[in-house]
Homo-oligomer: A and B are copies of this chain.
């Protein structure tokens, strides 16, 4: 089952065929960084809690802080990050700023992962 490789199959690689197959569908550095950035936003317990809370209901800054048991400043810092990433949108109503999720993709990714973690927890 020798496949004609698009890359010269010389001694540079241990398994030239595997390397060739990988090269065809490979992501470039910028795309890899884009994917990593999406995951990076979700890779913090505080942000996970924030997003999980906003999956249920929109909330203002201070209620988020109360529910999560962290400072309002810490919430605000994270919301800035999440807003920059276009993950949440903010709306001012009087003195309060209400946050809600904007992205439905993240919702799916997030729920899949939560399910995965909960299955793992039951398993081991």
Q: Which residues of B lie under 8 Å from residue A42 when comparing CB positions?
A: 35-36, 39, 43
How far does the alpha carbon of A67 sit from the alpha carbon of B21 in the complex, in Å?
Answer: 11
Residue-wise, chain A 70-108 has the 8 Å CB interface mask toward B (1 for contact) of 000000000000000000000000001000000001101
Chain A interface main SS type: helix
Q: Which residues of B lie under 8 Å from residue A26 when comparing CB positions?
A: 49, 52-53, 67
* B109 lies within 8 A of A38 (CB): no
- Partner among B14, B32, B108 whose Cβ is within 8 Å of the Cβ of A52: B32
Q: Which residue of B is nearest A18, CB measured? A: B57
CB distance from A76 to the nearest CB of B (A): 15
CB distance from A68 to the nearest CB of B (A): 9
Residue-wise, chain A 14-47 has the 8 Å CB interface mask toward B (1 for contact) of 1100110111111101011111111110111111
